[in-house]
Amino acid sequence: MYNENDDPVAYCIRSLQSGKNKEVALEKAEIALSDWWAISAVDRNLTEDEIENTLFMRAIVLATVATVYVWNGEFKQAFALENQFIYQEDLWEEDNRQVIEGYLSHLVYQKQFEHLDIIYREKAFRKEFIQIENIYKSVQNKDYEIKGNRLEFVSSVNRLNKSCKLL
């Protein structure tokens, strides 16, 4: 089924992508989180680039763990981690944004609309991820007026539908 020596973060990512083994992914997320805190607590002399890279990787780990928590209905644990990655603009860039979009998609799938409203209070975030806001707002209100590019909206809906089919 899975290799015990598997990197817990990599396992979580594969599980999220496949929609399989969510309970095992939750166990791996717990391991990843405890391992990360142990590593991050070590006092080291790091260069500025190493610190920046470590913070970026930390945000990816926390976003992955939080997504697994949401997938398993562990919202309180996910929300406790959220401020440490959700507004990190490095994760908004094209090559990295799937980490945030995956988290948001899970929140939509789990119908965490009130919490999404809280996240979307940040104007820069709203502007960057408007299509997912359009999705959850249109689910809540059939008369909601889509904002921004409608073709991007359709593309976002299709991606979310594909993710939800896995779940």
Residue-wise pLDDT for 136-146, tens only, equals 888 888 887 77
DSSP-based three-state secondary structure for 16: helix
The domain in which residue 19 lies consists of: 8-117
**Token pair for 117:** 């409203």
Distance between CA 167 and CA 162 in Å, rounded?
Answer: 9
Query: Which pLDDT belongs to residue 29?
Result: 95
**Residue-by-residue DSSP string for 41-75:** TS-----HHHHHHHHHHHHHHHHHHHHHHHHTT-H
Q: How many CB atoms lie within 10 A of CB 67?
A: 27
Distance between CA 75 and CA 127 in Å, rounded?
Answer: 25
Question: Which region holds residue 111: left if phi is over 0, alpha if psi is between -120 and 50, else beta?
Answer: left
**Token pair for 166:** 């896995």
Is 164 among the domain residues? no
Query: Which pLDDT belongs to residue 160?
Result: 64
- Place 41 in a pLDDT band, splitting at 50, 70 and 90: very low
Is 98 among the domain residues? yes
Query: Which pLDDT belongs to residue 152?
Result: 72
Is 57 among the domain residues? yes
DSSP-based three-state secondary structure for 38: helix
CA angle 51, 57, 58 (to 5 degrees): 85
The number of domains in the chain is: 1
Is 37 among the domain residues? yes
Nearest to 153 by CA among 136, 135, 126: 135
Is 126 among the domain residues? no
Least confident of 19-28, 37-46, 100-109: 37-46
Is 146 among the domain residues? no
Is 1 among the domain residues? no
User: pTM here?
Assistant: 0.83
What are the tens digits of pLDDT across the range 61-90? 999 999 999 999 999 999 999 999 999 999
Is 122 among the domain residues? no
